[in-house]
A and B are shown apart, each in its own frame.
Chain A
Amino acid sequence: MKILVVDDEADVQPLFLQRFRKEIKNHEIEFSFAQSGEEALQYLEEKHSEVVLILSDINMPGMSGIELLDHIRHDYNMPPPPVVMMITAYGDDENYRQAMDKGADDFLTKPLDFNLLKEKLKTISA
């Protein structure tokens, strides 16, 4: 299962890689990273068919996660549509409502609960 993680903080990358160490080693999960919405779209341009799940931060400089979500739902929504989970440090209603309106599948708040995330991944891959 290919997962694209979009976050402007570069340090989320080793974090994901280590948290899913076993899964990566067993080739259950493969991670790709983008540090901005723009970079994520570039990546999707070529590999959107491979990506099963997109985890995106909302609050990023430039294109926000919500805008990225909008693009994904418009341009890369051919079946099966990718699962998109939004992540934000601001877990408020407005953010949640916006994300859900634009077609997010789930809404996670920082700090990420990786155990919870793993549970969710299991239901997706199943």
Chain B
Amino acid sequence: MHIFVFLATFLLITRVRKSLKFSPVYPKWDRPLQLASFAVAGLWLLCAIYLEDEVSNLLGGALLLATMAYMQKQPDFKSFDVLIFAHYPLVFTAILNGILELVIPKVYNKYDNFLESAQLVAFGWIFARVATSKKQREEIRRINERRSELEELVAERTAELTRQKNELQGTLKELQATQAQLIQQEKLASLGELTAGIAHEIQNPLNFVNNFSEVSMELIDEMAEELAKGDTDEAIAIATDIKNNMEKIRHHGKRADGIVKGMLQHSRASSNVKEPTNINTIADEYFRLAYHGLRAKDKSFNAELVANLDPNLPVINIVSQDVGRVLLNMFTNAFYAVHDKKKTAGPDFKPRVEVSTSMIQTVSGGVHSIRIVVKDNGSGIPDAIKDKIMQPFFTTKPAGEGTGLGLSLSYDIIVKAHKGKIDIDSKEGEGTEFVITLPV
């Protein structure tokens, strides 16, 4: 019976050696394992010749157990755990049979058929385990292969995605730069629209400054004459006129000053600093600038300008040049619309553009928000494009005349930067009303 335990030991060593053939530790274990297998064969031969079967069985069991214990301690043989474990039943039966046969032969002889079968089954068990573990190993190997394939794929995808992300980041940066450029361009374009209006608006106060200072010089001569004549009452009257004139010179000087400052502010990159601002002042200023700007470009243009500005409006914190740009844009649009209608409408059509400001009060009487309405009786917005007018680059003007950014920037300024809103009410052929609401 002892042949099985020796055979199992021999096979275990041989199998381990064979399995290591393609592993990096093979050179280290090839010779020792080969020698070990020869040694096992030699030992079996010696036992078969010189020893009784039961002693050989015991020795063989011990040899197998020692082999297994040694292998289990070696980290190199970690992967053979299942195989090694499969030998325990054989070790157990071999040693049990050996001991029983040696110590209580009676019992052994009584059950020898059963005990020997057990040892055979234990021997067969090893092969059954090896077969299944081989299958499992195959499965694991396949899974591992698949996994490494997947890992490779994932790495590939990750690399691709990273590349795409970097590309997109680059594109985003470019787009942001372009956007900033476009905003600046839009500002300059609207400044261009303003230039003529500004020229007119500056020319007017300058004329007054020149005229009033000239007339004052004349008045002083006259005053001297009157004094020489001794007519002090008349001289005093003239002096009052002169004083009034000086006041007017100062007033118109300041007016021109304000316009130049406003123009500079308009073209400057936005500081985004919110300052307390009187909406009426910028509404009035840009209303006139937009009107004169268009007026200067097209001599046939004319419209009735109506301003209903609530004098009790509180100052609110806004980026004034940004909101000014929004108003300018709306005024320009309104003037454009009435001008457009005038081309087709009959001679009875009276172009009219109205700006009004008002307060919206809370229940408790405080001011909740400020409403600015820009209303025209122009051509109106066709229903088909109502959804599109806030989109960037959408314009109904001929190529090169509008950037298509006016309203979309207005939306950004009012809604995003000032938490306000823009409502549009328009009927094609009848007119348009833009309502800007700004929270206080």
- Contact call B215/A89, Cβ cutoff below 8 A: no
Distance to closest chain B CB from A105 (angstroms): 20
Q: Does A122 count as interface, using CB distance less than 8 angstroms?
A: no
- Contact call B304/A18, Cβ cutoff below 8 A: no
Closest residue on chain A to residue B201 by CB atoms: A89
- Contact call A15/B299, Cβ cutoff below 8 A: no
Q: Does B204 count as interface, using CB distance less than 8 angstroms?
A: yes
Also in contact, A89 and B222, with CB within 8 A (given A15-B208, A95-B299, A112-B211): no
- Contact call A14/B291, Cβ cutoff below 8 A: no
In the bound complex, what is the Cα–Cα distance between A36 and B211 (angstroms)? 21
Q: Does B391 count as interface, using CB distance less than 8 angstroms?
A: no
- Contact call A15/B215, Cβ cutoff below 8 A: yes
8 Å CB interface, A15-55 against B:
15, 18-19, 21-22
Bitwise, B208-245 to A at CB < 8 A (1) or not (0) is 10111011001100100000000000000000010011
Distance to closest chain A CB from B222 (angstroms): 7
- Contact call A15/B212, Cβ cutoff below 8 A: yes
- Contact call A62/B304, Cβ cutoff below 8 A: yes
Looking at chain B, what size class is its interface with the partner chain?
20 to 34
- Contact call A110/B248, Cβ cutoff below 8 A: no
Closest residue on chain B to residue A65 by CB atoms: B302
8 Å CB interface, B238-277 against A:
241, 244-245, 248, 252
In the bound complex, what is the Cα–Cα distance between A11 and B245 (angstroms)? 10
- Contact call A14/B244, Cβ cutoff below 8 A: yes
Contacts of A92 in B (CB 8 A): 299
- Contact call A14/B296, Cβ cutoff below 8 A: no
Also in contact, A89 and B208, with CB within 8 A (given A11-B252, A14-B245): no
Contacts of A67 in B (CB 8 A): 302
Q: Does B71 count as interface, using CB distance less than 8 angstroms?
A: no
Distance to closest chain B CB from A86 (angstroms): 13
Contacts of A62 in B (CB 8 A): 302-305
Contacts of A63 in B (CB 8 A): 304
Contacts of B178 in A (CB 8 A): none
Q: Does A80 count as interface, using CB distance less than 8 angstroms?
A: no
Distance to closest chain B CB from A73 (angstroms): 16
Main SS of the interface on chain B? helix
8 Å CB interface, A60-77 against B:
61-64, 67
Contacts of B296 in A (CB 8 A): 90
Q: Does B200 count as interface, using CB distance less than 8 angstroms?
A: yes
Q: Does A94 count as interface, using CB distance less than 8 angstroms?
A: yes
Contacts of A106 in B (CB 8 A): none
Q: Does B203 count as interface, using CB distance less than 8 angstroms?
A: yes
Q: Does B129 count as interface, using CB distance less than 8 angstroms?
A: no
Also in contact, A21 and B222, with CB within 8 A (given A14-B248, A89-B200, A111-B211): yes
Q: Does B421 count as interface, using CB distance less than 8 angstroms?
A: no
- Contact call A61/B304, Cβ cutoff below 8 A: yes
Contacts of B207 in A (CB 8 A): 89, 110-112
Distance to closest chain B CB from A43 (angstroms): 19
Q: Does B295 count as interface, using CB distance less than 8 angstroms?
A: yes
In the bound complex, what is the Cα–Cα distance between A15 and B299 (angstroms)? 27
Distance to closest chain B CB from A41 (angstroms): 14
Q: Please indicate which of the listed interface residues A15, A92, A95 has the most CB atoms of chain B within 10 Å of its own CB.
A: A15
In the bound complex, what is the Cα–Cα distance between A121 and B244 (angstroms)? 27
Distance to closest chain A CB from B247 (angstroms): 10
Also in contact, A15 and B303, with CB within 8 A (given A21-B222, A89-B200, A90-B296): no
Contacts of B241 in A (CB 8 A): 14, 18
Contacts of A11 in B (CB 8 A): 208, 212, 248, 252
- Contact call A110/B215, Cβ cutoff below 8 A: no
- Contact call A61/B291, Cβ cutoff below 8 A: yes
- Contact call B215/A18, Cβ cutoff below 8 A: yes
Contacts of B302 in A (CB 8 A): 62, 64, 67
Q: Please indicate which of the listed interface residues B206, B210, B215, B222 has the most CB atoms of chain A within 10 Å of its own CB.
A: B215
8 Å CB interface, A76-118 against B:
89-90, 92, 94-95, 98, 110-112, 114
In the bound complex, what is the Cα–Cα distance between A111 and B203 (angstroms)? 8
Also in contact, A89 and B203, with CB within 8 A (given A14-B248, A15-B208): yes
- Contact call B295/A59, Cβ cutoff below 8 A: yes
In the bound complex, what is the Cα–Cα distance between A15 and B241 (angstroms)? 10
List 5 extra interface pairs beyond A18-B241, A22-B222, A94-B299, CB under 8 A.
Answer: A14-B245, A89-B204, A95-B299, A112-B207, A114-B215
| Chain B interface (Cβ < 8 Å from any Cβ of A) | 200, 203-204, 206-208, 210-212, 214-215, 218-219, 222, 241, 244-245, 248, 252, 291-292, 295-296, 299, 302-305
Q: List 18 A-B contacts (CB under 8 A).
A: A9-B204, A11-B208, A11-B212, A11-B252, A14-B248, A18-B218, A18-B219, A19-B218, A21-B219, A21-B222, A22-B222, A59-B200, A62-B304, A90-B200, A94-B299, A110-B203, A110-B207, A114-B215
| Chain A interface (Cβ < 8 Å from any Cβ of B) | 9, 11, 14-15, 18-19, 21-22, 59, 61-64, 67, 89-90, 92, 94-95, 98, 110-112, 114
Top 4 A-B pairs, shortest CB-CB distance = A61-B305, A111-B207, A62-B304, A18-B215
